[in-house]
Amino acid sequence: MLPEKLIYEISCKQGALRAVRFNSDGNYCLTCGSDKSIKLWNPHRNLLLKNYQVHAYEVLDAQASCDNSQICSCGMDKYVCATDVGTGKILRKYRGHAGTVNCVKYNENSSVILSGSTDNSVRIWDCKSRKLEPLQILDEAKDSVTSIQVSDHEILTGSADGYFRRYDLRTGRMHADFLGKAVSSVSFTKDGQCVLASTLDDSIKLMDKETGEMLNEFTGHKNHDYKIDSALNCEDTHVISGSEDGLVYYWDLVEAKIVHKLNHARTHDHTIQKIQSLMW
């Protein structure tokens, strides 16, 4: 069942919102703002729980750990921070990227943090160690790393060089597939067999993970200038994406037809608000 009506609208008061992320059980969410803040919300009650000030410039991404005790975050100050949810205290501050850090992800048990940057690298940080150097650096990308996803044995990255890359941790091999335009968002399907990738040519592509064959393409939305999230619903039946025209689009996964649109409210001056971040 697809959502059809607005339930809650939260005025975050953080300037431009760069990312919104649910925690592991979906009861809370994080918002990342251009005002350097991260806010923790109970979205079901429209309630602000905590305001974190751990970055010196815009915050671009954040994620809660699997036990909801910590938050990893990143931004334009080139730092990756691990913060205690309850106290707001910075537990670790990782510096190693030479440019803006676009995206962060915990692995499944939150023992490491992965970060992708405009310095064309992915860095892997050990959350359990006191050492602040990265465990590993993945530097195969030739342009900015825009998106990261992690499964139990794979790392998936998207880059502005037009490639998405899949690192198999069991075999130590890297697989790269070229999509022609900058990749702004990547995710695994729930069955782990395919990759969903958004590219800056108004297109979302469903790719076979093993062969690199394009299985389907989803179009009709606007995405040629900004990093915009796409995702699949829990049943792998629909593709969801934000858009530069202020709408959220839903496609049938098999038929690749637009089946629904959600209209995001416009500002008082009728400016179209680009939908950059979404979570399912």
Q: What is the pLDDT of residue 276?
A: 63
Of 202, 214, 109, 121, nearest to 159 by C-alpha is 121
The length of the chain, given as a count of residues: 280
Query: Which domains are present in the chain?
Result: 17-236 (2.130.10.10)
Model confidence, pTM: 0.93
Q: Please give the backbone phi and psi of residue 107, each rounded to the nearest 5 degrees, phi first.
A: -75, -175
Closest CA to 23 of 51, 60, 64: 64
Q: Summarize pLDDT for 175-232 with one digit per residue, the tens.
A: 999 999 999 999 999 999 999 999 999 999 999 999 999 999 999 999 999 999 999 9
In angstroms, what CA-CA distances link 239 with 31, 57, 144, 271? 22, 32, 25, 26
Phi, psi of 242 (to 5 degrees): -75, 180
Closest CA to 49 of 32, 28, 33: 28
Instruction: Report the candidate in 169, 133, 146, 135 with the shortest Cα–Cα distance to residue 74.
Output: 146
Residue stretches of the chain with pLDDT short of 70: 265-280
